[in-house]
Amino acid sequence: MKATPAERTKGVCSPPSIPLPAVRVDASVEILKALADPTRLQMVGVLKRASEPVCICDFTAAFALSQPTISHHVGKLREAGLVEVTKSGIWAYYRLARNLDVRTRAVLDALV
Amino acid sequence: MKATPAERTKGVCSPPSIPLPAVRVDASVEILKALADPTRLQMVGVLKRASEPVCICDFTAAFALSQPTISHHVGKLREAGLVEVTKSGIWAYYRLARNLDVRTRAVLDALV
DNA sequence: GCTATCTATTGATGACCGTCAATGGAACGG
DNA sequence: CCGTTCCATTGACGGTCATCAATAGATAGC
């Protein structure tokens, strides 16, 4: 009925522990989902290296995707709070958000 | 026909630059997608803090999800190379992979 | 006003994901 | 053997996502 290779008992082996607060997990998941796409990760890489805000038209030229798809991706990044947009005339310029928290910045430094 | 707020010309404003190698982007995206789920991120947090491999039955007890769903999530983590499994008798014990590369470890240190 | 350019939005479509119930497979105890 | 426990797999279902074509909004120059 039971087998104890170490000192395990019934169904639950060791007391379950959930160390991370749910609100923090949700925040991290939102960032991770925003970054978990090749195009968006490349975009963040470009923005992280750019010394000035980058025009959307640069992305449409660089990424072999339709213009609505490009707009969709930068919108996702903006919803996640990763980028900021400033509009000047016809153009829309994007840059990395300047108030990224420490953990998000660490993720970006590690990956892009 | 054209408007030049700075020194932009026609459609393409500045020469496009794709700094990150595609192979590295794909590898990063695989890690990000594996982590971009609340349950899996919590699992990784538990494993990161655990001093010994954790039994699947602990996860089924901790996460209010069906056992197939738990198995599905740890399978995703294993496919991404984030965790390793060692089976002992009836039980399956999971731990963090011991050969995680530097960038992946930095992401885990930042988030979980 | 009219036209051209850049960007965002809408609608549609095909693919993928998270979840569960049901089943299968393996190992242990009697 | 046989029943039990643990884990993985399959099949199905609803939801989300990435993508594009088409359209709309906004701005600048004529």
**pLDDT reported for residue B85:** 97
**pLDDT reported for residue A24:** 96
| H or E, element range at A54 | strand A54-55
Q: How long is chain B? A: 112
Provide the shortest C-alpha distance from residue A41 to chain B (in Å): 7
| Cβ–Cβ contact B67 with A under 8 A | no
Q: Which of A38, A104, A106 is facing B25, going by the closest CB pair?
A: A38
**pLDDT reported for residue B16:** 61
CA-based nearest residue to A13, from B50, B48, B66: B50
For residue A86, how many other CB atoms are within 10 A of its CB? 10
Mutate which: A2, A8, A14, A103, vs B, most B CBs within 10 A: A14
* Class for the domain spanning B39-111: mainly alpha
| Cβ–Cβ contact A69 with B under 8 A | no
Token pair in block for residue B58: 């602990």
What CATH architecture is A23-111?
Answer: Orthogonal Bundle (1.10)
| pLDDT per position as a tens digit, A22-68 | 999 999 999 999 999 999 999 999 999 999 999 999 999 999 999 99
**pLDDT reported for residue A43:** 98
pLDDT band with cut points at 50, 70 and 90 for residue B10: very low
**pLDDT reported for residue B19:** 78
Domain boundaries, chain A: 23-111
Q: Search chain A and give the residue with CA nearest B62.
A: A16
The pairs formed by B28-31 with CB atoms below 8 angstroms and a separation of 24 or more are: B28/A35, B28/A41, B28/A111, B28/A112, B28/B103, B29/A35, B29/A36, B29/A37, B29/A38, B29/A41, B30/B80, B31/B80, B31/B82, B31/B104, B31/B107
Chain A CB contacts of B25 below 8 Å = 38, 41-42, 45
| pLDDT per position as a tens digit, B39-57 | 999 999 999 999 999 999 9
**pLDDT reported for residue B14:** 67
pLDDT band with cut points at 50, 70 and 90 for residue A19: confident
Between CA B68 and CA B35, with CA B104 as vertex, the angle to 5 degrees is: 30
B18: pLDDT strictly greater than 80? no
Does A16 contact B41 at a Cβ distance shorter than 8 Å? no
Nucleotides of strand D lying closer than 7 angstroms to a protein CB: 4-11, 17-22, 26-30
pLDDT band with cut points at 50, 70 and 90 for residue A6: very low
Average model confidence (pLDDT) across chain B: 89
A8: pLDDT strictly greater than 80? no
Higher pLDDT, B14 or A33: A33
